[in-house]
């Protein structure tokens, strides 16, 4: 939709305007938001660069040494370099496992939020724009999904998919199944948000003007209404990222999520839980702290974004 009007003076680029804008200003003024963002960036970068920076590949059996098993963190008396956070009974480095696990957790969280957002925004736009029976049908489906506990739906979906897939494919698809089952329960919130703002926008005169010109409904929804409904969706998406990561961890902890061969943070906590009473606290505490850090900083960022985008709070 960009029209290049060369005859006029150049305007500052999008990025330059963004950096000078209200959002960037409010970000700089909020130490909590800056702190959360820094923590999140560090976690994300180290997680996605895990194969490059972690001391060992915890899933390569050739790199595991049983004589290095059950080492405590490096700050205690028996700690050993390079096992900063200690090792588990198989000689796996806890730090490396956390980095690899965070990568899986973050990826599943981001993908499931993206999928839930796509489904929810589409459903909300269609329901809000057309109204009437379409709206009724879609929203009742949403109500039904919401009336069943999230975890139950997720367990059901993963159980069904597990049965449908042949044995040898189950592990490969477990991440996809998780993304799908979290997204299938998460889309309703986006649908409701978008439906509400679509119903407001579609009555506005700029939408009527487009209808008089003869713009097709799909185009009006995409080009006119969607951009004007996205602000609350972005806030919801940020807050839901934390929830999605937690759901993934819960499912993995319960054993219906990621398998032991590709452990996410939830799987690591489940494995570590078994050693808690043998005194190997570091195997479970450090993955749990990492999970808490991720969810906390995502939520703090989401809270800040919600306030920053609310014109009444400026």
Partner 1 sequence: MPDQADIMLTVEDAACWFDVSPPWLARVVERRPRRLLKAVDGVSFTVRRGTTFSIVGESGCGKSTLARLVVGLIQPTRGRLSFGRVDEAAGAGAAPRVQMIFQDPYASLNPRWRVADIIAEPIRELGLMRHSVDIEARVAELLGLVGLARNDACRYPHEFSGGQRQRISIARALATQAHFLVCDEPTSALDVSVQAQILNLMRALQAELNLTYLFISHNLAVVRHMSDEIAVMYLGRIVEQAPAEELFAAARHPYTRLLLDTIPDLEAPNRSRAPLAGEVPNPIDPPAGCAFHPRCARAVERCRTETPELRTIAGGRAACHLVEQAA
Least gap, CB of 6 to partner 1 (angstroms): 8
Least gap, CB of 187 to partner 1 (angstroms): 24
Closer CB to partner 1, residue 211 or residue 306? 211
Residues that bind partner 1 (CB under 8 A): 1-5, 7-9, 11, 204-206, 208-215, 224, 227-228
Rounded Cα distance, 296 and 43, in Å? 12
Q: Are 93 and 189 in contact (CB under 8 A)?
A: no
Exposure class string for 196-228: b at 16+ Cβ within 10 A, else e: ebbbebbeeeebeebeeeeeeeeebbeebbbee
Least gap, CB of 143 to partner 1 (angstroms): 17
Closer CB to partner 1, residue 230 or residue 254? 230
Tokens of 89: 């009974």
Tokens of 194: 């978008």
Least gap, CB of 24 to partner 1 (angstroms): 18
Closer CB to partner 1, residue 38 or residue 137? 137
Closer CB to partner 1, residue 15 or residue 212? 212
Least gap, CB of 168 to partner 1 (angstroms): 50
Distance of CA 228 to the CA centre of its chain: 23
Please identify which residue in the block is written with the tokens 């939830």: 266
Handedness of CA 71, 76, 78, 81 (dihedral sign): positive
Omega before residue 82 within 30° of 0, cis: yes
Backbone angles phi, psi at 305, to 5 degrees: -60, -40
Tokens of 63: 């790199």
Least gap, CB of 213 to partner 1 (angstroms): 5
Closer CB to partner 1, residue 8 or residue 15? 8
Q: Are 36 and 238 in contact (CB under 8 A)?
A: no
Which DSSP letter does residue 66 get? Answer: G
Closer CB to partner 1, residue 226 or residue 305? 226
């Amino acid at each position: 939709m960009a029209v290049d009007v060369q005859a006029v003076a150049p305007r500052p680029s999008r990025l330059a305007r963004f950096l000078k804008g209200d959002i960037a200003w409010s970000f700089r003024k909020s130490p909590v938001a800056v702190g959360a963002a820094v923590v999140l960036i560090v976690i994300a970068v180290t997680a996605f660069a895990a194969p490059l920076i972690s001391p060992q590949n915890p899933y390569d059996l050739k790199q595991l040494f049983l004589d290095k098993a059950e080492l405590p963190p490096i700050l205690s008396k028996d700690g050993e370099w390079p096992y900063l956070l200690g090792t588990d009974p198989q000689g796996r480095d806890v730090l490396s496992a956390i980095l690899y696990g965070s990568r899986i957790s973050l990826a599943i969280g981001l993908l499931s939020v993206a999928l839930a957002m796509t489904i929810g925004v589409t459903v909300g736009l269609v329901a809000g724009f057309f109204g009437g029976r379409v709206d009724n049908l879609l929203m009742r489906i949403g109500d039904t999904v919401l009336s069943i506990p999230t975890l139950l739906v997720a367990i059901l979906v993963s159980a069904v998919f597990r049965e449908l897939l042949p044995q040898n494919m189950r592990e490969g698809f477990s991440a996809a199944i998780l993304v799908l089952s979290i997204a299938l329960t998460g889309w309703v919130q986006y649908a409701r948000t978008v439906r509400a703002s679509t119903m407001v926008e579609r009555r506005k005169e700029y939408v009527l003007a487009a209808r008089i010109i003869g713009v097709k409904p799909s185009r009006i929804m995409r080009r006119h209404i969607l951009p004007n409904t996205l602000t609350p969706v972005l806030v919801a998406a940020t807050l839901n990222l934390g929830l999605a990561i937690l759901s993934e961890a819960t499912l993995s902890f319960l054993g219906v999520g990621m398998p032991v061969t590709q452990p996410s943070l939830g799987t690591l906590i489940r494995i570590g839980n078994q050693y808690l009473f043998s005194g190997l606290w570091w195997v479970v505490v450090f993955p749990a702290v990492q999970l808490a850090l991720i969810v906390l900083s995502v939520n703090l960022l989401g809270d800040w974004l919600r306030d920053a985008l609310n014109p009444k709070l400026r």
